[in-house]
Structure 1
Amino acid sequence: MKNLLLRINDVIYQACIWVAGTAIVVMALIIPWGIFARYVLGSGAGWPEPIAIMLMVLFTFIGAAASYRAGAHMAVTTFTDRLSPAWQPSISLLVQLLMAAIALFMTIWGIKLCAATWNQFMSTLPTLRVGISYAPIPVGGFITLIFVLERLFLGDQSHRRVVNFELLEDSKEAV
């Protein structure tokens, strides 16, 4: 059961990396187009900036979940490093519980925010609902909550190598 959960979380983790990476690449292509259209073509397009902002929100919340699992998220350990080794596991547990509370808050209140703004449309993109633009908040919170629970019950997975399961299945068939 543990291996199945780790495999599922590996897939979620890799999906987060791909989504965040794609968002950053698309954003890096959209912004120069907006500058080119405004200063070279002389007619600024209205869509590049709001799309780039939405991609940044997507990158931030989904990428934060992935970096939390990878152990690469910002962690200030100045205080905990100075504690006696006897206290460090307790403080680590407290930190994980606080992270779970924050992730749960993001999920619940993010869903409420999306629902409250669902019938509003963006002024710069009139076909796009405002609630969709806020969707990365509860999605990122839920994924972070999954990774926090994984860390609490299955241990820190940041040093474990994530296996590409498609290649693993192909190698089993070849044998």
Structure 2
Amino acid sequence: MKNNILRFNDILYLACIWISGAAVFVMSLIIPWGIFARYVLGTGSQWPEPVSILLMVVFTFFGAAATYRAGAHIAVAMITDRLPASLRWLCARAVDLLMLAVAMFMTFYGFKLVMGTWGQTIGDLPWMPVGATYLPVPVGGLLTLAFILEHMLIGYQGQRAVVTFDHEKIEAGAL
């Protein structure tokens, strides 16, 4: 059961990385097009800015979930590094519980926000519901929630000895 959960979370983690990377890549193509259309062609396109903002939201929430799982999120440890081991453990559990609360808040209220704004449209993108632009918030919260629960119940993914993926061995922390 534990290995199935870890494999599933590995797939979620890789999906978060690919989605975040694709969002940044597409955004890096869209922004120059908007500049080219405005200053070279003389006609500003309406869609590059809102699409780029949406891609930044996707990058932010999916990337945040991936960085949490990888242990690469921002952490100020100046004080906790100087504490005795028992207090460091207690602080780490408090952080886990606070992260759990934040992820649950993002998921619950994010879905309420999506549902409440689904019937509205964006002026520059009339075909896209406003709720769709907020969808990365609860989905990112749900992904982060899965990674927090993994961290709390199974342990930090960077401390796993070896993960096997289709007969390939991947050392700890390589994902």
Match of 1:74 in 2: 74
Match of 1:40 in 2: 40
Distance in 1, matches of 2:162 and 2:12, equals 11
Match of 2:89 in 1: 89
Task: Verify the 8 A CA contact 1:31 1:52 in the aligned structure 2.
Answer: yes
| Paired residue total | 168
Distance in 2, matches of 1:148 and 1:134, equals 22
What percentage of aligned pairs have identical amino acids? 56
Match of 2:173 in 1: none
Distance 1:130 1:68, change over 3 A: same
Match of 1:4 in 2: 4
Task: Verify the 8 A CA contact 1:10 1:162 in the aligned structure 2.
Answer: no
SS at match of 2:158: coil
Q: Tell me by how many angstroms 1:86 deviates.
A: 1.9
Q: What RMSD in Å do the two structures reach over aligned CA positions?
A: 1.5
Task: Verify the 8 A CA contact 1:31 1:48 in the aligned structure 2.
Answer: yes
Q: Tell me by how many angstroms 1:162 deviates.
A: 8.2
- Deviations, residues 20-77 of structure 1 (Å, cap 9, x unaligned): 0000000000000000010001101000000000000000000000010011111111
- Deviations, residues 65-111 of structure 1 (Å, cap 9, x unaligned): 00100111111112211212221111101100100000000000000
| Greater strand content | 2
Amino acid at match of 2:34: G
Distance in 2, matches of 1:154 and 1:56, equals 31
Distance in 2, matches of 1:90 and 1:38, equals 55
Distance in 2, matches of 1:64 and 1:134, equals 15
Task: Verify the 8 A CA contact 1:37 1:43 in the aligned structure 2.
Answer: yes
Q: Tell me by how many angstroms 1:164 deviates.
A: 7.7
Task: Report the TM-score, using the length of structure 2 for normalisation.
Answer: 0.92
Match of 1:106 in 2: 106
Show structure 1 runs of 5+ residues with no match. Answer: 169-175
Distance in 1, matches of 2:33 and 2:162, equals 36
Distance in 2, matches of 1:145 and 1:15, equals 15
Task: Report the TM-score, using the length of structure 1 for normalisation.
Answer: 0.92
Show structure 2 runs of 5+ residues with no match. Answer: 169-175
Q: Are 2:133 and 1:133 aligned?
A: yes
Distance 1:35 1:105, change over 3 A: same
Amino acid at match of 2:119: N
Amino acid at match of 1:102: V
SS at match of 2:44: coil
Q: Tell me by how many angstroms 1:158 deviates.
A: 2.5
Match of 1:171 in 2: none
Q: Tell me by how many angstroms 1:17 deviates.
A: 0.3
